[in-house]
Structure 1
Amino acid sequence: MRNRGEPGAPRMHAVLKREGAACGWRCVARLMRAVGLQGRHRRRRHLTTIPDPRTALRPDVIVRDFQPDAGSLDARWCGDIT
């Protein structure tokens, strides 16, 4: 079995299933816990942007009022990038 360190329960379950053993991944996880085996965790992502707590917040110019105003066109613009 080729892996990068200790295999976790899902990977160990896949290997056992490939070899013909009939068991669930929860059973594999329980047995691994009983023996003291634990899979390796992936590295945490590093936070790259740290906000400066001393900076002032930008003023809310439109006061979060997104209702259309019938009297004036092109008064407020808003966009959504999802």
Structure 2
Amino acid sequence: MMTHAEAVHIAEEQLAREAGPYDPPMAIDSSSIEEREGMLIVPFNSIEYLETGDPMKMLLDCFPTIVDLSTGEARMGTLADLSLFGD
């Protein structure tokens, strides 16, 4: 099983691959990372929002990256994953 630090690094790489040319600069929201059912749930948001907390800079409709701690496989979350995203 991989460490949380290794999984976060994989999530950062996944986020970099998924970012489009018109997306704002984004980063992992390290204060909101959770482990559930053998998966590390790694939220992200715009760097400006993470630095300021200004809700006008918050990204909307972005599901977190999910990293399987046993395999290292990373993917972007979907509606099918809602049960993993919190209470």
**TM-score class normalised by the smaller sequence:** under 0.3
Higher-helix-fraction structure: 2
**Alignment TM-score, normalising by the size of structure 1:** 0.25
**Bigger relative contact order (CA 8 A; separation at least 6):** 2
Larger Rg: 1
**Alignment TM-score, normalising by the size of structure 2:** 0.24
Higher-strand-fraction structure: 2
